[in-house]
């Protein structure tokens, strides 16, 4: 499967598992949160990166505790109009200091990519049937931003007056 990562189209290097599929060796995997919770001990020493798939409503404290052993946090966006993932991403990039891959999955559409990336997402699985090439253009929709976000841009109101 192709995804967008760091504003480029790349082949996904992770294998996505459901609740029951056997865990392959030597390759990165992304598991549902509940399964990771149940199998975290056995997953810890497999020698390949592990990620989780979570809902935006997940209890933050529990997730934050797990972050040090996670390479990927994939946040589900059930509907593109549901904005909770944006705040969760900001918390993970901000106070929680997560520097791994933050991936948007679910109803992920072109016109939301720029804001999602500003909030800290760096990887995107687009909704089925969407053109990734089309979607890449979204990052160029706006070059300037008034306010800062997880991207740490400098707020425009801090710029010196012209002249």
Closest CA to 109 of 89, 137, 148, 84: 137
Q: Does 2 bind other proteins (CB under 8 A)?
A: no
Beta-bridge partners for 50: 29
Q: Does 81 bind other proteins (CB under 8 A)?
A: yes
Measure the CA–CA gap between 111 and 22, rounded to whole angstroms: 36
Contact 158, 26 (CB under 8 A): no
Among the listed ranges 4-12, 13-21, 30-38, 135-143, the one in contact with other proteins (CB under 8 A) is 135-143
Q: Does 59 bind other proteins (CB under 8 A)?
A: no
Other Cβ atoms less than 10 A from the Cβ of 23: the count is 16
Q: Report residue 143 as tokens.
A: 């070059």
**38 phi-psi bin (left φ>0, alpha ψ -120 to 50, beta other):** alpha
Q: Does 12 bind other proteins (CB under 8 A)?
A: no
Q: Does 87 bind other proteins (CB under 8 A)?
A: yes
Q: How far is the CB of 161 from other proteins (least distance, A)?
A: 5
Residue placing its CB nearer to other proteins in the complex, 24 or 154: 154
User: Among residue numbers 90 through 129, which ones bind other proteins (CB under 8 A)?
Assistant: 90, 94-95, 109, 111-112, 114-116, 118-119
Q: Cβ-count burial of 74 within 10 angstroms (0-12 exposed, 13-18 middle, 19+ buried)?
A: buried
The pattern of x and - marking residues 60 through 79 that bind other proteins according to CB under 8 A reads --------------------
Q: Which residues bind other proteins (CB under 8 A)?
A: 80-84, 86-88, 90, 94-95, 109, 111-112, 114-116, 118-119, 131, 134, 137, 141-149, 152, 154-162
């Amino acid at each position: 499967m192709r995804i967008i990562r760091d504003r480029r189209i790349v082949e996904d290097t992770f294998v996505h598992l459901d609740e029951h599929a056997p865990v392959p060796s030597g390759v990165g995997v992304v598991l549902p949160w509940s399964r990771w919770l149940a199998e975290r001990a056995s997953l810890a020493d497999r020698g390949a990166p592990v990620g989780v798939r979570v809902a935006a409503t997940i209890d933050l404290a529990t997730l934050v505790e797990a972050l040090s052993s996670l390479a990927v946090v994939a946040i589900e966006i059930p509907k593109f109009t549901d904005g909770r993932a944006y705040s969760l991403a900001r918390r993970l990039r901000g106070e929680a200091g997560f520097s791994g891959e933050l991936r948007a999955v679910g109803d992920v559409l072109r016109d939301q990519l720029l804001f999602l990336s500003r909030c800290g997402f760096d990887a995107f699985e687009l909704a089925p049937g969407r053109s990734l090439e089309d979607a890449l253009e979204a990052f160029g929709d706006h070059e300037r931003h008034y306010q800062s976000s997880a991207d740490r841009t400098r707020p425009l109101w801090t710029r010196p007056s012209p002249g």
